[in-house]
C-alpha cells in the first residue's frame, strides 16, 4: 500500500506528524501480524490429509490458520473437525496473508514472501497432495487488507479484494464446493497506536458481506456475521474469554463459533439438525431461507 500526499505541494508540519503517526501505526500492526504468523508457522499450524478424500478445506489468514489447535504442537488438531462431528478437515491458512494475495497470487506481505516458505494461493492450497474432494470450505480473508491500511481502505476496494479471492478459490476447487465466509469478531481491546476504532469491524464485515452478495458465485457462498458472538458490537469490545489476544480467537472462541447452529448446518455436521443433511438456516443470517 502506498501513502500519497493529497496534492503536489510540500506537506505541512502537521501533515508530516500525522503521516509519521500513521506509518508508525501501520508498521506496528504489520510487526504484530508477522510475529503471530511466526508463532503459528514455527509449529506448522497448516495441515495436510496426505491426498485423502477430505470434507472441508480452510483458507485465508491467521483467523483461518489459528483454528488448528496448538495445545499439542507436535500433532496439530483441527478444532472444526472436533466440533463438526463426522467431518475431516485440511487447514491451508497462512497467518498474515491478505485477500489481495489469495486473489491475485502476488506477494504483498512478509507472510507470503518466498523466504517465508509459504505460498498464499488457491492453487497451492488445493494441491491434491493435501487432500481431494472437498465439499465445503471456510475462507477468512479481508482483515489484513483493511487493518494493514490502518482501516482507511474503502469498502469498495476491500470488497473487490475479497471477491477476487473467492473467485480464485472457486477456480481451483472441486465443482460445486460451498464456501463459508464469517467476517471477524470485534477487537477484545483497543488497538494501540492505530486509527482503527472498534466500529471499524462493522465496515470490515460489511465489505465482506457485500463481496459475498455481489459475487458471481453467490449461490455457493454463505455469509455468517460472527461479530456479536463473542460479546462485542460496534461500540463494545469482545470478551477476553474468547480471545488469545486483541484480534485472534483462542480455542474456546473457535469452539464457540463452530458450534453456532448456522455454521453446523452449513458444514452438514452430523448432529446439526438431528439428521446430518444440513437443512438448517443455511444462509447464516438466521432467516432460514438458505439463499446465501
What digits encode the pLDDT tens for the residues 153-181? 999 999 999 999 999 999 999 999 999 99
More confident residue, 71 or 275: 71
Q: Give 28's pLDDT tier (boundaries 50, 70, 90).
A: very low
217 within 8 A of 166, measured Cβ to Cβ = yes
More confident residue, 14 or 46: 46
Task: Calculate the alpha carbon distances from 245 to 18, 147, 231, 239 in Å.
Answer: 27, 15, 15, 11
Q: Give 64's pLDDT tier (boundaries 50, 70, 90).
A: very high
Q: Give 150's pLDDT tier (boundaries 50, 70, 90).
A: very high
Mean pLDDT, residues 244-266 taken together: 96
> What mean pLDDT is reported for the chain?
81
57 within 8 A of 125, measured Cβ to Cβ = yes
Mean pLDDT, residues 223-227 taken together: 97
Q: What is the pLDDT of residue 71?
A: 58
Residue 217 has pLDDT above 80, yes or no: yes
Q: What angle do CA 49, 52, 56 make, to 5 degrees?
A: 65
Q: Please, what sign has the CA dihedral across residues 258, 261, 266, 267?
A: positive
Residue 183 has pLDDT above 80, yes or no: yes
Task: Calculate the alpha carbon distances from 147 to 4, 27, 32, 187, 270 in Å.
Answer: 18, 11, 11, 12, 36
Mean pLDDT, residues 145-155 taken together: 97
Q: Give 278's pLDDT tier (boundaries 50, 70, 90).
A: very low
| CA distance linking residue 65 with residue 143, whole number of Å | 13
Q: Lowest-confidence range among 81-85, 171-175, 216-220, 288-292?
A: 288-292
| CA distance linking residue 145 with residue 112, whole number of Å | 13
Q: Give 49's pLDDT tier (boundaries 50, 70, 90).
A: low
289: three-class secondary structure by DSSP: coil
Q: Give 270's pLDDT tier (boundaries 50, 70, 90).
A: confident
Q: What angle do CA 206, 120, 75 make, to 5 degrees?
A: 100
Q: What is the pLDDT of residue 197?
A: 95
| CA distance linking residue 225 with residue 30, whole number of Å | 25
| CA distance linking residue 182 with residue 194, whole number of Å | 24
Q: How many helices (H) and strands (E) does the chain have?
A: 10, 7
pTM of structure: 0.78
Q: What is the pLDDT of residue 118?
A: 75
152 within 8 A of 199, measured Cβ to Cβ = no
Q: Which of 153, 141, 151 is nearest to 101 (CA)?
A: 141
Q: Give 52's pLDDT tier (boundaries 50, 70, 90).
A: confident
What single-letter DSSP state applies at residue 190?
P
Cell of 253: 472462541
Q: Bridge partners of 57?
A: 90, 137
Amino acid at each position: 500500500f502506498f501513502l500519497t500526499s493529497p496534492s503536489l505541494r510540500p506537506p505541512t508540519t502537521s501533515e508530516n506528524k500525522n503521516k509519521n503517526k500513521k506509518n508508525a501505526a501501520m508498521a506496528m500492526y504489520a510487526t504484530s501480524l508477522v510475529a503471530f504468523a511466526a508463532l503459528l508457522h514455527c509449529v506448522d499450524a497448516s495441515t495436510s490429509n496426505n491426498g485423502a478424500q477430505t470434507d472441508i478445506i480452510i483458507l485465508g489468514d491467521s483467523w483461518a490458520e489459528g483454528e488448528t489447535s496448538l495445545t499439542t504442537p507436535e500433532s496439530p488438531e483441527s478444532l472444526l473437525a472436533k466440533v463438526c462431528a463426522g467431518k475431516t478437515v485440511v487447514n491451508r491458512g497462512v497467518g498474515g496473508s491478505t485477500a489481495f494475495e489469495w486473489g491475485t497470487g502476488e506477494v504483498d506481505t512478509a507472510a507470503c514472501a518466498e523466504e517465508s516458505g509459504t505460498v498464499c494461493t488457491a492453487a497451492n492450497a488445493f494441491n491434491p497432495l493435501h487432500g481431494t474432494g472437498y465439499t465445503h470450505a471456510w475462507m477468512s480473508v479481508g482483515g489484513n487488507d483493511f487493518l494493514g491500511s490502518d482501516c482507511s481502505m474503502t469498502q469498495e476496494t476491500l470488497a473487490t479484494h475479497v471477491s477476487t479471492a473467492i473467485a480464485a478459490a472457486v477456480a481451483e476447487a472441486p465443482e460445486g464446493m460451498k464456501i463459508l465466509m464469517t467476517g471477524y469478531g470485534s477487537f477484545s481491546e483497543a488497538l494501540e497506536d492505530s486509527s482503527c476504532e472498534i466500529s471499524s469491524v462493522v465496515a470490515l464485515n460489511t465489505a465482506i458481506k457485500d463481496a459475498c452478495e455481489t459475487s458471481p458465485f453467490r449461490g455457493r457462498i454463505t455469509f455468517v456475521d460472527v461479530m456479536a458472538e463473542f460479546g462485542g458490537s460496534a461500540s463494545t469490545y469482545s470478551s477476553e474469554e474468547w480471545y488469545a489476544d486483541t484480534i485472534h480467537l483462542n480455542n474456546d472462541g473457535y469452539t464457540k463459533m463452530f458450534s453456532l447452529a448456522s455454521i453446523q448446518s452449513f458444514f452438514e455436521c452430523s448432529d446439526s439438525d438431528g439428521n446430518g443433511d444440513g437443512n438448517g438456516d443455511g444462509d447464516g443470517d438466521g432467516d432460514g431461507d438458505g439463499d446465501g
